[in-house]
Amino acid sequence: MKLLEVCVDSLASARAAKQGGADRLEFCSALAVGGLTPYADLLRQVKAEMSLPVRCLMRPRAGDFLYTKEEIDLLCHQIKTLHAAGADGFVIGALTPEGTLDLPAMHALLDACDGAPVTLHRC
């Protein structure tokens, strides 16, 4: 089964994605810097208007994917907030300085997702 997922960062871009045939939305903020974690209130607006599944990108800042413990803790808190706001799933990823997946960070993020669908992002 093919699935068209479209990155969106506003209600207007979500509407356009739906009109263009999107099957699922990847919701972000700050697409100009590669996408950051979106706002819960904007997610609520999108979910109130459309029934498309929405996966939220979890990225605390622009730049690399080498996250500190504090950044992972923040992401875990944001995952819970976004899940409560209606997120259907999450797009996550964290790396080690060697360029491999940061398994302890990934486990913490997956635990925070609490069984919600997850996509590994481009990290």
Given a cut of 80, whether residue 122 has pLDDT beyond it is: no
Tell me: the pLDDT tens digits for 108-121?
A: 999 999 999 999 99
Average pLDDT, the chain: 96
User: Which one is predicted more confidently, 86 or 1?
Assistant: 86
Given a cut of 90, whether residue 104 has pLDDT beyond it is: yes
Percent of the chain at pLDDT exceeding 90 = 96
What range defines the domain where residue 26 resides? Answer: 5-120
Tell me the CATH number at 77.
3.20.20.380
Q: How far is CA 16 from CA 12, 27, 31, 108, in A?
A: 6, 13, 16, 34
Q: How far apart are CA 119 and CA 74, in angstroms?
A: 19
The count of structural domains within the chain is 1
